[in-house]
Amino acid sequence: MQKNDVSMSIEIPYKLYKADAGGYKFSLKPNLQLENHNFQPAFYLIDKHCPHDKLYEVQFSYDKHTIYITTGEGILTSLPLPEEFSDLNEVEVWMTWIKKDICVGTKNKTFFTYPRNITGGKSADKFIGYIKFETNYGFDWKVHESPVVYKMPPEKKLKGGKLHWVAIEDHKLPQDAMIGGFEKNPIYIARAMYSGSLCPGKYVPEERKAYVAWGGEEHEKSNFQILCGYNAKWVLCTDDNIPENAFVAGTSEIQNEPLYIGRAFIDYKLIVGKVHMLYKTCYLPYRGEEIEVQHYEILLDLSINPKGYPCRGKCKVNVFNKDLTCI
């Protein structure tokens, strides 16, 4: 694979490259022959319509062992710097941006996924057009050819594959059991009764047990059902903005309010749990606790054709204009 060296230079503060293929691969290494190192190299994802408009800044802080991601609107996110960077050797990094997800990793490992973009819900790959590398921080960059990135195919409504629940027997997964996330290995979507509530949760095959979140804790269940089928889709969701065709997977213990299936990342693991619209929260069973998140993905049933938008008022009746609300 052809490589282009981008050597550090005080006179040239940055290098700008066209990046319209949905991904990039590069290497960075401290230039130990230079004095006065500032171990905080950074690169930027730039708007395709304006090379001066920074959509994202990604900074590797070697001194603080932290990666900082800042959006053009000033929203800052931080996460630990991976171990590969600790010995000051050359590290090869890959990055992709497909639709709303921006992923960065080394070799076969992803060390962060940034699902929320600053483009108002529009696809990130339609806005990112350049990548800019800072070259005045005592680092050498090697920019590789863009990796092959496949565009997501257009959605097609499936026939069959209707979502349904199956009671598991002898811990044998049904052939069409739906994978909902992963910890060390794939986990599946389950539901079980707890304290009068039919709770969606997760099934961990290695442990042969299901887990549900309730009352601030994670509860282990040996009697449960597994969700099967494939005519479904995950979409981003916040608070109680529940899509009309969200899949109803259970009920609450008091007034039998509907519970939906949600999932979110915790400690780089994709955990499945329940969504309760009344509390505007997704509850995830994880390491003995009930983890609450307000930004999550929710599972849709594609066999249901949505007719409108949920009303923002108290009635929650679907309306055809998303700006309308009841009085």
Q: Mean pLDDT for each consecutive 10-residue tract of the chain (327 residues)?
A: 39 70 80 61 83 82 84 80 78 76 77 57 62 73 62 61 90 91 94 96 95 96 95 86 90 91 94 91 96 93 74 42 39
pLDDT given at position 155: 60
Residue 55 CB-density burial (10 A; 0-12 exposed, 13-18 middle, 19+ buried): buried
Angle at 236 between CA 246 and CA 319, to 5 degrees: 50
Angle at 77 between CA 103 and CA 12, to 5 degrees: 75
pLDDT given at position 92: 86
Question: pTM value?
Answer: 0.51
pLDDT given at position 9: 33
- Spatial contact of 167 and 177, defined as CB atoms under 8 Å apart: no
pLDDT given at position 301: 93
Of 250, 254, 264, 265, the residue nearest 198 (C-alpha):
250
Task: Give residues with Cβ within 8 angstroms of 159, minimum separation 6.
Answer: none
Angle at 199 between CA 197 and CA 205, to 5 degrees: 140
CB half-sphere exposure, 128, CA atoms < 13 A = 29
Q: Write the single-letter amino acid at 129.
A: G
CB half-sphere exposure, 95, CA atoms < 13 A = 21
Of 129, 95, 137, the residue nearest 113 (C-alpha):
95
